[in-house]
């Protein structure tokens, strides 16, 4: 039976595909809005998951035994400008997918990725039992997706597991995200493609960062051992200030700190808890989850990723990188 990965060209999706191929549990079929570069050795299907009939045809044709659902609207920042799109996409795609799965006669287990952003500004430590209070349309859309999944679990007896990831980090991430953005800027400064200047937002913000390769392994673990109908945090369990990320990336680079100008830009600030979130990962740890990749390695690999892409470009303004965001459809 096949394994289906939706949103496979996204940041987590690409690393999840690699993890699945390494573990070898079965043939992998993927859906993606854009084909990944470099192309991964799996079958990609250009299915519009927003179309119910297309999703029904897909599920009926491949009859998956497992589904990793990563697809959907993924930008919390952009969701303020287009709240309706974020809400409709994330909820309708999930309903289309789960509705098609409920029509299968063979068993199918589905892992759906939500976000810890569903908690909004909830103070103190976060466990999976904390009351959600989303502070942006993207987070609200993910919470609604969770409710749709819970409906299918309770009323259609589907085998479902929900994951709430925190911030991922690692090679291949879009520069729209903080660590990858800093790494790209430093790599361009090293290559002489930009002035020794970096724009930053709130350097005092504290966030939980998990290497995307550990996140991919966590997804495999939840698929194998997660309890049906349960929700699990997928994070490192440690907070790190954005300032530390930048400082450590500068240390890894050849850029002299004394020659680097850091500009704080109000446009780069985003709504987030003032003291960060202490994300409890006790529940997924009980399944055997233990992050293996240190933050320093994640930062080094991210910087080297951008160095490689920039060195292979023909010149300033011609970089074709196609880095992936966290999700796609």
Tell me the per-residue pLDDT of 276-301, one tens digit each, with 9 for 90 and over. 679 999 999 999 999 999 999 999 99
* β partners of residue 109: 66, 159
pLDDT at residue 228, as a whole number = 98
Q: Strand, helix or coil at 198?
A: strand
Tell me the per-residue pLDDT of 308-325, one tens digit each, with 9 for 90 and over. 999 988 443 333 334 554
Shared domain check, 215 and 174: no
pLDDT at 54 over 90: yes
Shared domain check, 155 and 17: yes
The domain that holds 304 is classified in CATH as 3.90.25.10
Domain limits at 268? 169-208+238-273+293-311
Shared domain check, 19 and 111: yes
Shared domain check, 150 and 18: yes
* β partners of residue 169: 211
Shared domain check, 96 and 12: yes
Q: Following CA atoms 272, 275, 278, 279 in sequence, which dihedral angle do they give, to the nearest 10 degrees?
A: 0
Shared domain check, 178 and 154: no
Decide: 31 and 44 in contact? Cβ < 8 Å.
yes
Shared domain check, 183 and 251: yes
Shared domain check, 13 and 132: yes
**DSSP string of 94-138?**
HHHHHHHHHT-SS--EEEEE--GGGGTT--SEE-TTSPP---SHH
Q: Residue 154: which H helix or E strand, with range?
A: helix 137-156
The domain that holds 78 is classified in CATH as 3.40.50.720
Tell me the per-residue pLDDT of 128-178, one tens digit each, with 9 for 90 and over. 999 999 999 999 999 999 999 999 999 999 999 999 999 999 999 999 999
Please check whether residue 278 lies inside any domain of the structure. Answer: no
The two three-digit tokens of residue 60, written as one number = 């009926």
Nearest Cα neighbor of 6 from 75, 82, 66, 87 is 66
Q: What span, in angstroms and rounded, lies between the C-alpha atoms of 310 and 324?
A: 16
| Mean pLDDT, range 213-240, rounded to an integer | 97
Decide: 26 and 63 in contact? Cβ < 8 Å.
no
Confidence of residue 275 (pLDDT cuts 50, 70, 90): low
Q: What span, in angstroms and rounded, lies between the C-alpha atoms of 218 and 224?
A: 10
H helices of 205-255, in order, are 212-225, 242-252
Q: What span, in angstroms and rounded, lies between the C-alpha atoms of 7 and 187?
A: 28
Please check whether residue 322 lies inside any domain of the structure. Answer: no
Tell me the per-residue pLDDT of 6-33, one tens digit each, with 9 for 90 and over. 999 899 999 999 999 998 777 999 998 7
Residue 57: CA count within 13 A, CB half-sphere? 10
Please check whether residue 320 lies inside any domain of the structure. Answer: no
Please check whether residue 28 lies inside any domain of the structure. Answer: yes
For the chain, what is the domain count? Answer: 2
Shared domain check, 248 and 143: no
Q: What span, in angstroms and rounded, lies between the C-alpha atoms of 121 and 126?
A: 11
Decide: 199 and 268 in contact? Cβ < 8 Å.
yes
Shared domain check, 153 and 19: yes
Provide the mean pLDDT of the chain: 90
Whose tokens are 């446009």? That residue is: 267
Please check whether residue 23 lies inside any domain of the structure. Answer: yes
Shared domain check, 120 and 178: no
pLDDT at residue 314, as a whole number = 46
Please check whether residue 117 lies inside any domain of the structure. Answer: yes
Task: Report whether the peptide linkage leading into residue 38 is cis, meaning its omega lies within 30 degrees of zero.
Answer: yes
Shared domain check, 13 and 149: yes
């Amino acid at each position: 039976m096949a394994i289906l990965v939706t949103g496979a060209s996204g940041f987590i999706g690409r690393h999840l595909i690699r993890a699945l191929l390494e573990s070898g549990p079965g043939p992998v079929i993927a859906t993606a809005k854009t084909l990944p570069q470099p192309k991964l050795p799996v079958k990609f299907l250009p299915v519009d998951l927003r179309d119910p009939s297309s999703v029904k045809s897909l599920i009926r044709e491949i009859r998956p035994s497992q589904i990793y659902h990563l697809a959907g609207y993924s930008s919390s920042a952009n969701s303020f400008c287009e709240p309706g799109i974020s809400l409709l996409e994330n909820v309708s795609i999930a309903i289309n997918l789960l509705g098609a799965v409920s029509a299968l006669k063979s068993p199918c287990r589905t892992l759906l990725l939500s976000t810890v952003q569903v908690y909004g500004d909830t103070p103190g430590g976060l466990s999976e039992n904390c009351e959600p209070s989303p502070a942006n349309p993207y987070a609200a859309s993910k919470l609604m997706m969770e409710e749709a999944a819970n409906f299918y679990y309770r009323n259609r007896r589907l085998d479902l597991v929900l994951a709430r990831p925190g911030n991922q980090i690692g090679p291949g991430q879009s520069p729209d995200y903080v660590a990858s953005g800093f790494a790209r800027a430093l790599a361009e400064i090293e290559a002489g493609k930009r002035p020794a200047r970096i724009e930053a937002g709130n350097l005092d913000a504290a966030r939980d960062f998990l290497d995307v390769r550990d996140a991919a392994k966590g997804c495999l673990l939840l698929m194998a051992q997660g309890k049906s109908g349960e929700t699990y945090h997928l994070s490192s369990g440690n907070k790190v200030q954005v300032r530390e990320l930048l400082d450590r990336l500068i240390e890894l680079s050849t850029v002299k700190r004394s020659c680097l100008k850091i500009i704080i830009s109000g446009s780069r600030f985003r709504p987030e808890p003032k003291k960060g979130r202490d994300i409890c990962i006790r529940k997924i740890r009980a399944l055997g989850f233990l992050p293996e990749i240190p933050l320093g390695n994640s930062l080094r690999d991210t910087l080297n990723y951008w160095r490689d892409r920039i060195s292979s470009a023909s010149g300033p303004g011609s970089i074709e990188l196609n880095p992936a965001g966290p999700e796609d459809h």
